[in-house]
Structure 1
């Protein structure tokens, strides 16, 4: 008798639910927030390169060291919104923030 393997396919959301936590859980919220910040850093790097700027040149435009731009591109967690806005202004790029209230806490969407 031949045994058949079940073809089990999971969506990305189902995998996140299983391995990280369900939507609304503390673990899932932290994961989603960190992911957004990682994407933000990658966006800054991408736009900087499209504008043919080095990290040093971008830093000079906003008054920070090259190392701060490097840190921002790798990890946007420890940066103020003011700095992010300065960066995108220097890059001549628009940025939009969406803030939602959920159970009294702010969430960046």
Structure 2
């Protein structure tokens, strides 16, 4: 049985995401990017909490929520307010920087 040489097509991560998830600006890609950012945020909260040697219960007490709320926050931050996220990072004594970027083509400036 002869083995045929196959040429591997090299693709960037962005090209793979475009192909498999959808191009930038499509609802599917926007949802993917949002969920990825929320997962990273949850992981950051958990990492900083552990670095500060706090349990989920202790962090919850600092901001006035139950341990289960902190657990949900670390696993799935999609259903949380910015106010809660800021409270968490404030309790963890961590600096938070937000960046807002506007697409100038969508602005109707007269």
Same fold (TM over 0.5): yes
Equivalent residue for 1:21? 22
Query: In structure 1, what is the Cα distance between the partners aligned to 2:28 and 2:102?
Result: 18
Distance 1:57 1:2, change over 3 A: closer
Query: In structure 2, what is the Cα distance between the partners aligned to 1:67 and 1:84?
Result: 15
1:1-109 to 2 correspondence within 5 Å? 3-102=4-103, 103=106
Q: Deviation of residue 101 (structure 1)?
A: 2.6
Query: In structure 2, what is the Cα distance between the partners aligned to 1:66 and 1:2?
Result: 58
Provide the aligned C-alpha RMSD in A.
Answer: 1.4
- 5+ long unaligned stretches in structure 1: 105-109
Q: Deviation of residue 4 (structure 1)?
A: 1.5
Q: Deviation of residue 95 (structure 1)?
A: 0.9
Structure 1 or 2: more strand by fraction: 1
Distance 1:2 1:71, change over 3 A: closer
TM-score, normalising length: structure 1: 0.89
- 5+ long unaligned stretches in structure 2: none
Runs of 4+ with deviation above 4 angstroms: none
Q: Deviation of residue 2 (structure 1)?
A: 6.2
Q: Deviation of residue 100 (structure 1)?
A: 2.1
